[in-house]
Structure 1
Amino acid sequence: MTSVRVTKSAWGKIGSILKRSNNNLGFIYSASSGGCGGFNFELKLLEPKIHEDITSSKFYSVLENKDVKIYIDPISEMYLIGTKIDYIEEDYSKGIYESKFNFEINKDKMMGCGCGISFSPKV
């Protein structure tokens, strides 16, 4: 099992999205090339066409809270170890002007960017 952490707020929002989308398959968490730091965090709804491939694979780590699942992309997993997925609500009094998922990095292994979705590994 991977050491990715997910906050209560993020689990709640992910569960809410799954209910509203009529998709109970889960999410996939990965890193892709791009962004100002070299890599972007990605958290996407799992599509039915790839669900069977992912769930039958022994290579995907799975985070689970009640009936909500997050599958960790095995190719990205080494970059995601130690990260935290959070969901922050819009709160103008705190200077938060949009609700969004926020990805906190493992500062021992990577450098982040101010955008909150981009990072680069430390070498």
Structure 2
Amino acid sequence: MTSSRPRPQVMTLTDAAAKRVSEIMAQKPNIVGLRLGVKKGGCAGMEYTMTWAESQDKFDEVVEDKGVKLLIEPMAIMYLLGTEMDYVQDKLSFGFVFNNPNQQSACGCGESVNLAPAAADKLAALKVS
């Protein structure tokens, strides 16, 4: 028996992020989506990873938001749950930023973050019955 309630999305995109990802993907043939993950590194402990994916892996969590397909690496789900990805541009810099409720701190340069796993009840909501 399957659950009738919809599963929550692991991540969402702002309009600016969706527009920028779509613009870049339009220039890259054979790309099926943007793969997101986290890895150990940096002075705060973890770093976000982003790569263009030519194929979807069997265990990727697929998020489709505003016409963009995100492929979330399985081990990153617990750290990215509830995250909003944005694209910001100002006079001195531009780039993607992550508004992540699981982020406890960040280094001064903004390249690495300290992330805690999402609460167990929030992770349980992702499970398909």
Instruction: Give me the TM-score of the superposition, normalised by structure 1.
Output: 0.76
Q: Which aligned runs of 4 or more in structure 1 are off by greater than 4 angstroms?
A: none
Q: CA deviation at 1:22?
A: 2.3
Q: Residues 87, 37 of structure 1: CA spacing in aligned structure 2 closer, same or farther, 3 A cutoff?
A: same
2: CA distance between counterparts of 1:11 and 1:43? 14
Residue 124 of structure 2: aligned partner:
none
Cα distance 1:65–1:110, how it changes in 2: closer, same or farther (>3 A)?
A: closer
Shift of 1:31: 0.4
Q: CA RMSD in A?
A: 2.1
Q: Which residue is equivalent to 2:60? A: 60
| Percent identity between the two aligned chains | 28
The alpha-carbon deviation at position 111 of structure 1 amounts to 1.4
Contact 1:29/1:71, CA 8 A, preserved across alignment: yes
> Is 2:105 the partner of 1:112?
yes
**TM superposition shift of 1:122:** 4.2
* Partners of 1:4 and 1:81 within 8 A in 2: yes
Q: Distance in 1 between matches of 2:16 and 2:66?
A: 14
Q: Classify 1:76/1:122 alpha carbon distance in 2 versus 1 (closer, same or farther; 3 Å).
A: closer
Secondary structure of 1:35's partner? coil
Deviation at 1:66, TM superposition (A): 5.4
Structure 1 gap segments, 5+ residues each: none
Letter in 2 for 1:115: C
Query: Per residue, is there more helix in 1 or in 2?
Result: 1
Q: How much has 1:41 moved relative to structure 2? A: 0.8
